[in-house]
Every structure is written in structure tokens, then in C-alpha cells.
Amino acid sequence: MKNYKLNVLHLLIVATLLLLGSCNENEILDEVTDPDTELEDKEPEEEEEEPEEEENPQPDASHPFFLEGQDPKPSNMKWVKVDALTDEFENGAIDLEKWNESPEFLWENANGSFSDRGWYGSTRCLFSEENVSIVEGELRIEAKMYDTPQYSPKDDQSKPAVRWFGGAYVSSKTMGKPGYYFEAEMQSSSTVMSSAFWLKTPPVPCSTTTDGENLELDIQECVGRFLGSQTDDWTNDDWAVNSKWDQIFHFNTHRHATNCTYSGSRQSKGGHINFEKYNREEYHVYAAWWHEGGNQVDFFIDGTLVKSVTPPVPFTSDQRLIMSSNFYDWVKEDGKDEMGFNDSKLDRSTKFKWVRTWKLEAE
């Protein structure tokens, strides 16, 4: 009887263990059939290493910015920085040893008097140093709409003021020369006003220059916002509309009329390409190599050559380097909001992270 009880007890213990084992097995099966859970004893698969993405080359202050194979430097030459035409804008204030922040240009006449030959902007714009600042390592030119129209120092104040829009004209105190390579990292404002990086012969009497020419080299000229077909009334065609002036790398060489050498209409040679994004949405490195002899200018965008241009005449005259924002005569006025003048001061500003100039010297 005792053995019988022991056998029964033994059987009960075995049955209990079998039942517990069955439950654990079901739990394991449930885990295996869960598609989000891997088998515990499955060997982990070796993960393929993703190829390392090559980082985009970034501009470096020690040399001009070119992508691979784009540097036109001859093998026996090296690029040397022209310090007087280079600025990283890191000092918190504009360097007045390098730049004029006012458009004023005083010229001494033969009788000893002085006259202001400066340009203060297009008809409805006033260039002013109050719109120039150095903020967070950038030179910024604010585009604004005034509450009341302004006069420039050269305006006839007996007539109504018409300058409703404020911009600026920052020019170099050192001349740019043939053989120099100019580059700047720039983003346009969000307004209908221009954002420009360019060179121009000084506004002096042509009789005082070596060649009597009035020349202009535009490295980049665009607007931050474009009002489309409203420009047709001025242009009489769709050139500005079709060119997408707010999505453009627009470069040019101009020969203007003078009293000395050429009295005809403006002569121009240049070109443009369009971006997918708006000029106001991203920075680009805009650049130009003004060849020795002045018979060729190469235009680059983000380190890549876009086009080589032969100017209307050889560009042999020295020119001032300029950063500016202007309200073009061909831009039609609209509401303040539509033109971008209700945007933040940061967005309304043309921004230059740096400007650098280089020349070639023998190794």
C-alpha cells in the first residue's frame, strides 16, 4: 500500500513536469512565429558595411575653392592671397582700411573744389552705410522699405523724394586687377531687391584713366524674390521672367559709354544658369578669374567652371570690388509683404560669409 502511494505520487510529479514543459514549449513556439522576434539560437547575419559617403569639399581660407580638376592654375604657379581684397568678416565691425561703406566718392576738380561722383542707387533706392553690418561672422546688407521716401545727398530736394527703398554699396579701397581670381560665399536677401558681387571702374573722369573706358564685371547679380510678369511693362518682353532672376547665377561683362572712347549703347557679354532652389534659400560660392591681358573672364559656381567669356573690349583697367543691394528700376512695386519687406531683418539681408581674392605667382 505504501509502495502504491509512492508510485501514484511519482506519477503525479512526472505529469506535472510534463505539463510545465508543454507550456514552455508553446511559449517558445509563439515567440518563433512572431515575425518581429528572431530565434534565440539563430546565428546573427553579418551586416554589410555601408560605403562611406565622400564629404563635399568645403571652401578653405588657405586656397581658392575648386572641385577636383577645376583649378586652372598652371603646374609651375601657385595661388597667393591678395590680403587687401580678402576679408573673413570675423572682427565684429567692417574693416574701414579695406572697404568704403558709403557710396560717396569725392573728386578734386581742376579748380581745387571737390565734387561727389558717387552713385547712391537706382531711382527708388538709397544706398546708406546704416544698412551695412558685421554679424556672426558675416557682412550683411539690409534691404528695407522706408516709412517715408528719402533723398540722397545729390538729389534735387525741390522735387518730391522717391527713394522708398534702402540698400547699400560697399566698395574696396584697393583696385582689382587683370590676373586676379575673386570669390565670395553669398546668399541673397528674401526681397525683390538685388544681391550683387561685382567690379567697376571708379567713377572718375574718363580723361584721367589709362584707356578712357567705363567697364563693369558682374560676378553675380540676382534678386531674392521675383514678381514675375509685372516686369513686362518695363522690359517689353519676357527676358527677366524667363531668366528666373530669383533662381539664377547671372554674370556679365559690360562696356558703358564715355566721352572719351565710346559713345554708343552698352555692350555686354555674359551668361547665366538657373538653380533648382531660390537664391534666398542657400549659399553659393560665386567666382571669376579675370585673365591677364583682359581678353577673357572665367566664371565659376561652387568650384566649377560655368563659362569663359570674351568681354566686348579687353578689360585692362583696374576696378573696385563691390558688394551691394539695389532696387532695380525694372522691378514693379507691390505690397510690402509681397515684396518681402515684412520678413525678418536676417532674411531681408544679403549675406557674405567671406570674400577672397588671389593672384598667381611662380612656385
Per-residue confidence in pLDDT tens, the chain, 363 aa:
444 444 444 444 444 444 444 444 333 333 332 333 333 333 333 444 444 444 678 999 999 999 999 999 999 999 999 999 999 999 999 999 999 999 999 999 999 999 999 999 999 999 999 999 999 999 999 999 999 999 999 999 999 999 999 999 999 999 999 999 999 999 999 999 999 999 999 999 999 998 999 999 999 999 999 887 655 565 555 677 788 999 999 999 999 999 999 999 999 999 999 999 999 999 999 999 999 999 999 999 999 999 999 999 999 999 999 999 999 998 888 999 999 999 999 999 999 999 999 999 999
Angle, CA of 287, 202 and 103, to the nearest 5°? 90
Angle, CA of 204, 221 and 206, to the nearest 5°? 15
Q: Which residues contact 344 (CB under 8 A, 6 or more apart)?
A: none
DSSP-derived pairing of the beta strands 297-301 and 319-325: unpaired
Domain boundaries along the sequence of the chain: 77-362
Kindly report the backbone phi and psi dihedral angles of residue 18, in degrees, each rounded to the nearest multiple of 5, phi listed first: -65, -40
Q: Which three cell numbers stand for residue 192?
A: 525683390
Polymer length of the chain: 363
DSSP letter for 226, please. Answer: -
Residues identified as active-site: 216, 221
Side-chain-side CA neighbours of 361 within 13 Å: the count stands at 7
Measured CA to CA, the distance from residue 190 to residue 325 in angstroms comes to 12
Q: Which of 99, 282, 300 is closest to 195 using CA atoms?
A: 282
Q: Which three cell numbers stand for residue 68?
A: 577636383
Angle, CA of 299, 168 and 215, to the nearest 5°? 45
Point out which residues pair with 176 in neighbouring strands: 319
Out of 3.40.50.300, 2.60.120.200, 3.10.20.30, 3.30.230.10, which CATH number does the structure's domain 77-362 have? 2.60.120.200
Radius of gyration (C-alpha) of the chain in whole angstroms: 33
Measured CA to CA, the distance from residue 76 to residue 206 in angstroms comes to 38
DSSP-derived pairing of the beta strands 99-100 and 214-223: unpaired
Measured CA to CA, the distance from residue 239 to residue 232 in angstroms comes to 8
Q: Which residues contact 107 (CB under 8 A, 6 or more apart)?
A: 114, 115, 116, 117, 203, 204, 205
